[in-house]
A = this chain, B = another copy of it.
Amino acid sequence: MISVVILGAGNVAHHLYKAFFSSENVTVTQWYNRNISNIRPFNSEVQLTDDISQLIEADIYIIAVSDDVIADISAQLPFEDRLVVHTSGSASGYDIDQKNRRGIFYPLQTFSQGAEIDFSTVPICYEALMKKDYPILKELAQSISNNTKRINSDQRAALHLAAVFVNNFTNQLYRVAHEITESQGAEFDLLKPLISETALKVQDLSPFKAQTGPAKRNDKKTIKRHLKLLDNDHHKDIYKLMTASIKKTHAHLNLTNNQKPKSQN
Contacts and interface: CB of A to CB of B under 8 A. Distances in A.
Interface of A: 67, 90, 108-110, 112, 115, 117, 121-123, 125, 147, 149, 151, 154-159, 161-178, 180-181, 183-188, 190-203, 205-208, 210-216, 222, 225-226, 229-230, 234, 237-239, 241-242, 245-246, 248-249
A48 to B, nearest CB: 27
A180 B157 CA distance: 10
Contacts of A188: 162
B172 A158 contact: no
Given A159-B190, A171-B211, 6 more contacts: A67-B222, A108-B194, A155-B186, A163-B191, A163-B194, A166-B177
Most buried by B among A122, A186, A201, A230: A186
Contacts of A151: 186
Contacts of A199: 170, 195-196, 198-200
Given A167-B212, A173-B165, A211-B168, A225 B195 contact: no
A180 B154 CA distance: 11
Nearest to A187: B149
A171 to B, nearest CB: 5
Contacts of A121: 193
26 contacts: A108-B190, A109-B194, A110-B212, A112-B201, A112-B210, A115-B201, A151-B186, A155-B181, A157-B229, A158-B180, A159-B181, A162-B176, A162-B181, A163-B177, A165-B176, A167-B194, A168-B215, A168-B216, A169-B246, A170-B199, A172-B215, A172-B249, A175-B249, A177-B207, A195-B202, A195-B203
Nearest to A115: B201
B161 A180 contact: yes
Contact of A162 (B149, B169, B177): B177
B229 A234 contact: no
